[in-house]
């Protein structure tokens, strides 16, 4: 069955109508949250392990989590991408980690279900049927954590208060992919984890909060990604608390100094290793 058809079946089965939800302001002070992320059992899962542990049910109600394919592409394409990036030795080590996580069933979906959180599948967060479904969920805030798609106007407007994203780099200097890699390669003293409003232009919304993770010279990308994911979960909780009590402040970005980074090439990886850094 084609991928699109599978997604349509899932949508029909899982996007069942739900009762209308009373807006947060008249219901309770609990912030209603929808999470959108990618299927990564290694690094992004670290964020959710921390996030779910810190989430207080008296403050936050998670109405669902949507987990998309990593990079929004088939698994074999992601494997090829990782092979080129890591090289054969590190790729083999990463593959062993991945297989072990899969065998253990250690996934974002598993953690979500253990906390009683429903998974809301879709082939695209911009699909009209998904946007309409999100509106029936009536989230106050939509939170993107490594979501593999650019959010368009429909899904951005589906949250009552705001859509926010977490990015493991200083904005607008390190917009784009793999910001931890680029910050290490460029000799930064710290990686700046940023929570910001989402806009139709990638990584261009106003900044809500930042947190610095110290970088070593040399360092391990594996360590930095893990640290920024866990620190990011704590920062996200703090931002959500401020949104709930109305104290969050948004600082617009000055895009005149903006840069955008694509996924690193094998040449970039060689330069990274030449500085003494390790990927794993």
Q: Which domains does the chain have, with CATH numbers?
A: 28-274 (3.40.50.170)
| CA pair distance 251, 43, nearest whole angstrom | 28
Q: What is the pLDDT of residues 243-259, one digit of tens each?
A: 999 999 999 999 988 99
| CA pair distance 136, 208, nearest whole angstrom | 27
| CA pair distance 6, 197, nearest whole angstrom | 32
User: pLDDT > 90: what percent of the chain?
Assistant: 82
Q: Which residue has the tokens 């010279």?
A: 217
What is the pLDDT at residue 257? 84
Taking 90 as the threshold, does the pLDDT of residue 19 lie above it? no
Confidence of residue 22 (pLDDT cuts 50, 70, 90): very low
User: Cβ(34)–Cβ(64) under 8 Å?
Assistant: yes
Taking 60 as the threshold, does the pLDDT of residue 18 lie above it? no
Question: At 82, is the secondary structure helix, strand, or coil?
Answer: helix
Taking 50 as the threshold, does the pLDDT of residue 26 lie above it? no
Half-sphere exposure of 170 (CA within 13 A, CB side): 15
User: Cβ(30)–Cβ(161) under 8 Å?
Assistant: no
The dihedral built from the CA positions of residue 18, 23, 27 and 28, taken in this order, carries a sign that is positive
Structure tokens at 206: 């106003």
Confidence of residue 235 (pLDDT cuts 50, 70, 90): very high
190-197 and 162-167 beta bridge pairing: antiparallel
Structure tokens at 131: 């946007």
Q: Which strands form 162-167's sheet, in the order they lie side by side?
A: 60-68, 31-38, 141-145, 162-167, 190-197, 207-214
| CA pair distance 89, 78, nearest whole angstrom | 17
Least confident of 35-49, 62-76, 121-135: 62-76
């Amino acid at each position: 069955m084609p991928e699109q058809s599978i997604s349509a079946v899932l949508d029909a089965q899982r996007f069942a109508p739900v009762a209308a939800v009373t807006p947060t302001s008249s219901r309770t002070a609990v912030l209603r949250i929808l999470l959108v992320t990618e299927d990564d059992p290694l690094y992004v899962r670290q964020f959710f392990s921390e996030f779910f542990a810190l989430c207080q049910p008296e403050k936050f109600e998670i109405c669902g989590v949507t987990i998309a394919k990593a990079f929004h592409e088939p698994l074999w394409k992601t494997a090829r991408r990782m092979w080129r990036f890591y090289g054969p030795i590190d790729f083999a080590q990463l593959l062993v980690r991945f297989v072990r996580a899969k065998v253990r069933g250690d996934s974002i979906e598993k953690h979500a279900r253990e906390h009683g959180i429903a998974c809301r599948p879709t082939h695209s967060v911009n699909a009209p049927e998904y946007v309409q479904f999100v509106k029936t969920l009536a989230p106050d805030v939509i939170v993107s954590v490594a979501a593999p798609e650019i959010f368009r106007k429909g899904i951005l407007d589906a949250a009552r208060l705001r859509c926010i994203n977490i990015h493991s780099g200083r904005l607008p200097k390190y917009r784009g992919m793999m910001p931890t890699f680029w910050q290490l390669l460029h000799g930064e003293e710290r990686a700046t984890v940023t929570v910001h409003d989402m806009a139709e232009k990638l990584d261009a919304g106003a900044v809500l909060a930042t947190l610095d993770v110290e970088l070593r010279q040399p360092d391990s990308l594996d360590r930095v990604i893990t640290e920024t994911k866990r620190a990011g979960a704590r920062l996200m909780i703090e931002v959500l608390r401020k949104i709930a009590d109305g104290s969050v402040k948004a600082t617009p970005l000055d895009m005149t100094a903006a840069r955008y980074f694509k996924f690193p090439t094998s040449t970039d990886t060689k330069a990274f290793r030449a500085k003494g850094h390790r990927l794993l």
